[in-house]
Amino acid sequence: MISVQVQITARCLKDQGKSIKQIARDLQLSRNTVRRYLRDRTAADYPARPVKPNARLEPFAQDIEAMLAAELIGSRILAELRKRGYSGPRRTFYRYLSHRKTLASPSPAVERFETGPARQGQYDWSVYTVPIAGAVTRVYLHSFILGFSRYQHLSASLHIRQPAIFEALEESFVSVGGVPREMLFDNPRAIVSTPRPNLVFNQHFLEFARFYGFLPRACWPGRAQTKGKVERPFQMVEEHFIKGNTFADWADFARRLTHFTAEVLNARIHGTTQERPQDRLLSEQQLLLKLPATRFISCRESFRKVSLDCLVAYGGSRYSVPWQYASKHVWLRPTCDLGLEILAQTGETLARHQLSREKGKNVVDLQHYRGLRENSGSSKHQLSCLFQRRFPEAGAGRFLEKLLAQYRMNAQVQLQRILALLSTYPREALLAAFEQALSYNTFSYRFLCGLLSQQESAGEMPGPVLLGQERVLPQLDVERGLESYQALLGEVSHD
């Protein structure tokens, strides 16, 4: 049996007009053999040979079969075999695989489109089912890639709504240190209201694009290869990171995804550029548009009140905050629906939680309740002693005496709330408010809040910024003639 190459050579010589005798002499074959293969064009086709791994691959034969059954690609299988001790050449491994696969049908030819440094970035997302914490979870991977350097940034979310897309893009811009001049997208509703040919972008998305200064572009529907730079790497992510891996929790998934992006995607020699993306980024980074000083303000933050048990509701579950912020309002900021950041009105971060995937759960950090019993007694006597320790001054003592006399039935509630003001206002501001309350002969928590708000608005002390909240006038808890408070109400009304 002769090779296919010899058979083709014999046909070419025959087409050139040479005789069978001459062909047999040139190829050192018998004339009957030449006649047979020229007469039967399929005679030279070799039957499939059995797979015979060499001595180095033979111990891994079962592992290879299992990974092929799991539909892992060759490079992923080779990487796994390297971890298990295979030290043979790549060529031997791929020759072994070639016996088990048939050639795929050729894809339609396309023209490669390359862009200059900092000119274009591409964004896309893909959904996967990933085993996390023992449960199969639907995860959306957001991918951003720079067209010139091929530098890539990956992030994950549990949904694909507009806030998650905006956050993924913002994280990507921060990761590369700037913004490309144009961004290429597919046609999700969060970005494109009406696809081509009558292209209309989402209005809120245009505000986002204007804020960061990039020109938005959208692909024609059904032309995914237009943004092939960001489409193609998803296969590598799926084959080398998603398949065959399990994750202990969300933190483990996010940490390993970041490591995979940095150590594999951006550190490998890219097949097209023949350079590492992280190296080419250095020359592209200098030409990117500068990042704005602040993040884009969207509607994803919400303003909520903390309950008396130090929990705030979000998404059907409740999350703890430090006990000093009970009954106060806080800002809630979800992060790609994987976590929840809770901020004070001053912008200070109070707590970070992993979002519960089940509704009706209480997600509690016990550190948020540490010191609560020592700092908030349950009886009037305990609270009075605590107040005296916090405010040993004579004026504060007179204030306490008057408060206890005025609120015989619910002094505990008033004292608890007044002591909690120490976590928000300076101690000196509270002492000044006590003196002023003595002059007006009223000692309620709400009246003190009004006095403190008045001091804050007058610039007499640093205090919390009440975002989007109106100034609250002091409310009096005693029955007196309003003419006694005319001066005070006149001052407060100017706020």
Instruction: Answer whether 0.75 is exceeded by the pTM.
Output: no
pLDDT score of 140: 92
**Long-range contact set of residues 456-462: C-beta below 8 Å, sequence gap at least 24:** 457/495, 460/429, 461/425, 461/426, 461/428, 461/429, 462/426
pLDDT score of 490: 54
pLDDT score of 102: 43
Angstrom CA distances, 372 to 59, 183, 345, 420, 492, stand at 62, 51, 21, 11, 34
Between CA 315 and CA 302 the distance in angstroms is 11
pLDDT score of 121: 93
Between CA 144 and CA 169 the distance in angstroms is 7
Sheet holding 329-335, edge to edge: 302-305, 329-335, 339-343, 349-354
pLDDT score of 26: 80
3-class state of residue 306 by DSSP: coil
Q: Walk along the chain (495 residues) in steps of 10 and give the mean pLDDT of each run.
A: 64 78 84 80 52 71 83 84 86 78 45 76 91 90 92 90 88 94 89 86 90 89 58 79 89 91 91 89 92 72 82 90 86 76 82 84 87 62 85 90 87 85 84 90 88 77 43 44 51 47
Q: Nearest CA to 277 among 115, 146, 151? A: 151
CB atoms within 10 A of CB 442: 23
pLDDT score of 35: 85
Between CA 168 and CA 174, with CA 169 as vertex, the angle to 5 degrees is: 100
Identify the bridge partners of residue 303 per DSSP, sorted by sequence position.
331
CB 141 within 8 A of CB 234: yes
Instruction: Report DSSP state, residue 68.
Output: H
Token output for 475: 């409310």
pLDDT score of 116: 87
Q: Is the dihedral of CA 350, 355, 358, 364 positive or negative?
A: negative
Please give the single-letter amino acid code of residue 152: Q
Domain spans in the chain, listed from the N-terminal domain onward: 4-39, 58-98, 120-285, 302-369, 376-493
pLDDT score of 226: 56
CATH (residue range 120-285) = 3.30.420.10
Q: Nearest CA to 172 among 151, 188, 199? A: 151
Between CA 308 and CA 331 the distance in angstroms is 17
3-class state of residue 413 by DSSP: helix
Identify the bridge partners of residue 201 per DSSP, sorted by sequence position.
192
Sheet holding 311-314, edge to edge: 311-314, 317-320, 362-363
Contacts with 400 (C-beta within 8 Å, 6 or more apart), sequence order: 384, 387, 388, 391
pLDDT score of 288: 94
How many CA atoms does the CB half-sphere of 424 hold within 13 Å? 26
Contacts with 437 (C-beta within 8 Å, 6 or more apart), sequence order: 399, 443, 447, 448, 451
pLDDT score of 417: 85
Between CA 100 and CA 68 the distance in angstroms is 10
